[in-house]
Amino acid sequence: MLASSISDREGMGSFVDCEALTRMIYDGRDSTWSAMRSTVVPLYQPARLAGLIPVMQSYVDTLAANIAACPDQDCVPFCQLSLRMAIDIIGRTAFGIEFGLSKNAAGTGSSSSESPGGGEGEGDVREFLREYKRSMEFVKMDLTSSLSTILGLFLPCVQTPCKRLLRRVPGTADYKMDQNERRLCSRIDAIIAGRRRDRATRRRCGPGAAPAPAPLDFIAALLDAMESGGGGGGGAGANKDFALADRHVRALAYEHLIAGTKTTAFTLSSVVYLVSCHPLVEAKLLRELDGFAPRRGRGRAPDADELQSGFPYLDQVIKEAMRFYVVSPLIARQTSERVEIGGYVLPKGAYVWLAPGVLARDAAQFPDPEEFRPERFAPEAEEERARHPYAHIPFGVGPRACIGHKFALQQVKLAVVELYRRYVFRHSPSMESPIQFDFDLVLAFRHGVKLRAIRRG
C-alpha cells in the first residue's frame, strides 16, 4: 500500500528513492537470519553448483524424454512436466530424496503430488508431496486466501496477531495451514534425521574400505556445517555466538522446497512460451545453441563455464522473459529504521510492498515495454547501459535477495539447451489466447502452457 502511494506521487522513474529504500529496508539486521544466510552462502558457490550439473542434467534428459513420450505431440502439458522436473531436482539436491515425479510422467494425467516413482518409502514420499502441494495452495495473495492473509493485505500490522489466534480455531484456513505445515515440517525433520544417519554410516567405514562419497544434498551439507563449527560460516555479518540447530536446517530446507520449484518451472515455461511466439527470437536463439554442439544427436551437456559465459543471447532471452512475466508480483519488506522516501516519512516497523512487475513495465526504463525484445539486455545496447540497476530485480536486491538465483538459472539454461537441441515449440490448438494468470505469491499460468513439440530434422 505504501509503495503504491509513493509511486502515485513520484512516478516509477524516481530510482534515487529506491536506493534509500534498499539501504533501509533490505538491511539484514536480524542476527539469527544473518548467521543462517552466511552459513548457506557457501552452498551456492560456483564449484558446488558445477557439481550439481550432472544431477540436474539427468532430470532435464527425463523432461525431454517425457515430451517425446507424450501421447499427443500437439498438446504437451509443458507446465506440468517442467514442475515435475523442478520438484525432482529439489528433492535430490536439497533433500537427498528421489521423488520420482518425472518417471513415466507423460500422459498420466495425474497431479504432481500423487505420482512418486515408486520404491522404498513411496508412501512417505507421496504424503510429503501432498503436504507440499497443500502448502503451495495456501500461499495466495488474494481474497481467496486465509483471513489473516486477507487482513495483512490491507492492515499488515494485524496479520501476525490474527494468524496466531486463528490457527488455534479448528476449521479456519489458518488452522488448516498450520496443521499442514506442522506435518510437512515433521517429515522434513525425519529427512534430517536420515541424513544424520547417513553421515554416521560413512564414518563407520573401515580403514581399508573406500568411504562412500559425501552426498551433495543441501541438508547433508548443512549438517556438515553444524558439525564443523556450525556458526555463521565466517562471513563478515556472521554472529559468532550463533549455533546452527535442526530447526534452522528445517526452516532453510522448507524455504528451498517452497521457493525453488514453482518459480523455476514458471520461468522455464515462460521462456519456451514466449520464444514460440517470436520466430525471429527463436531463430537467433537456435543459431547460438547450434553453435555450441551439433544439432543431431544428444551431444554433451554444457559445463559450468559454458553456462556462465557461452550463451549470451540465451541470457538475454531469460532476462527478458523474467521481465515480461515477473514471477514474484510482490516483495514485502519492513523498515528497520525511520526513513524518508519520495517525500513520505516511513516510521520504523512500517510494512512496504514493492511491485517488481510494475518496475519491469516502466517505459522510462524499458522502451516499448509490451514488446518482447531480448536485445534490450545486450551489454552493448544503449538501453541496457542507461537503465537503472534496480529497474529489473526479479530475484530482489540487497542482502535479502534470492540466494538461490544461480541455482535456478542453471536449471533453466540446461533445460533450454537440451530441449531446443531436440525440438522447436508452437502453441497447441488447445492453448488459450490471451493467456491468463493466477496472481498468487508466485505468478502462475492459470491453465498451464500447452505446446506442440516439433522434432528438429
| Bind-site residues for heme | 402
CA-to-CA separations, 329 to 142, 145, 287, 400, in angstroms, rounded: 12, 16, 33, 16
User: Cα separation of 82 and 95, whole Å?
Assistant: 19
Terminal CA-CA length for the chain:
53
Task: List binding-site positions.
Answer: 402
Show the cell assigned to 143. Answer: 481474497
Q: What is the DSSP secondary-structure string of 415-426?
A: HHHHHHHHEEEE
User: Cα separation of 446 and 86, whole Å?
Assistant: 18
User: Cα separation of 126 and 190, whole Å?
Assistant: 15
Beta strand pairing call for 351-354 and 331-334: antiparallel
The dihedral sign for the CA sequence 83, 402, 374, 443: positive
Phi, psi of 106 (to 5 degrees): -65, 130
**Bridge-partner residues for 344, per DSSP?**
341
Question: What burial letters (b/e) apply to 380-415, b meaning 16+ CB within 10 Å?
Answer: eeeeeeebbebbbbbbbbbebebbbeebbbbbbbbb
User: Cα separation of 97 and 233, whole Å?
Assistant: 26
- Give SS3 for 335: coil
Show the cell assigned to 414. Answer: 540446461
User: Cα separation of 150 and 65, whole Å?
Assistant: 42
Report yes or no: 248 and 40 within 8 Å, Cβ to Cβ: no
**Bridge-partner residues for 451, per DSSP?**
76, 427
Going by C-alpha positions, the residue among 406, 426, 378 that lies closest to residue 274 is 426
User: Cα separation of 111 and 91, whole Å?
Assistant: 17
Phi, psi of 272 (to 5 degrees): -65, -40
User: Cα separation of 269 and 263, whole Å?
Assistant: 10
Going by C-alpha positions, the residue among 300, 320, 301 that lies closest to residue 410 is 301
Q: Which residue has the cell 550463533?
A: 242
